[in-house]
Amino acid sequence: MTKPTRKKKSNSLLASCIGLGTFALAVVLYLFIFHQNPASAQEFPVQGFDVSHHQGEIHWKQIPRKKFQFIYLKATEGGDFKDRKFQDNWLQAREQGFLVGAYHFYRLCRDGQIQAQNFIETVPNKPDALPPVIDLEYDSNCINTYTKEQLLSEIQVMHDQLQQHYGKQPIFYISKTFYNIVLAGEFKQTPLWVREYQGQPELKGNPKWTFWQHTSQGKIQGINKPVDMNVFHGSVYDWSIFLQKNGIQPLTPTSP
């Protein structure tokens, strides 16, 4: 066999390096950007999920009741948007015996009073419902509408109105970016629900989280599209204490 010339050897070495570099880059992108690994969430026994109109038609009777201890439904957004599937999902999920709560996507451009009213007008005040959730995320289009102090004040208005109306401590669903920029050190009594797809949540100041959304690519029988999957931070006993604090008893299923 003819030995390669020195030039051919150099070209071959260069091609190999490029190939290895491309492969390494692909691995990094898969592990840290595209791949969402839910493995570390397996240690938490209390599981749930959240959905909105984006999941389309949901066949609630097909969803295994024993597997999921809580479900959150998108109800509202900003000052006037109401999720078109909320009412159907709310009624059907409760009929199947699931513990259900509602969340509001907070628009940083709107004041807290208007957003609280939108949520209150949409979500029934049921004593057996899970605490209301305010979804707080960084929005570059709205972030400069208020100063940080003004924004915290508006969030406080909505927080307080929901707490007064529903008689339960609201929860903040947060992105790490929003928490670290705006919320760190504030609302210390408000439970946190953290979106983090690369491992267990770590936030500035290391506050304890209550819920963790560990992937947006969950698959559930009865739902055709990918679903946000969540876990509660604690044991089954801890979960029962959480429910008791919120005056909640599990619903009795009305159908098999």
Catalytic residue ranges: 50, 137
List helix spans (H) across 123-235.
148-166, 176-178
Is 132 strand, coil or helix? Answer: coil
DSSP 41: G
DSSP 5: P
Which residues 6+ apart lie within 8 Å of 106 measured at CB? 78, 115, 134, 135, 136, 137, 155, 158
Q: State the Cα–Cα distance between residues 211 and 27, nearest whole angstrom.
A: 29
Q: State the Cα–Cα distance between residues 220 and 229, nearest whole angstrom.
A: 10
204 touches 194 (CB < 8 A): no
Closest CA to 178 of 229, 129, 142: 142
| CA dist list (Å): 54 to 35, 79, 91, 225, 246 | 21, 20, 18, 8, 29
Which residues 6+ apart lie within 8 Å of 80 measured at CB? 118
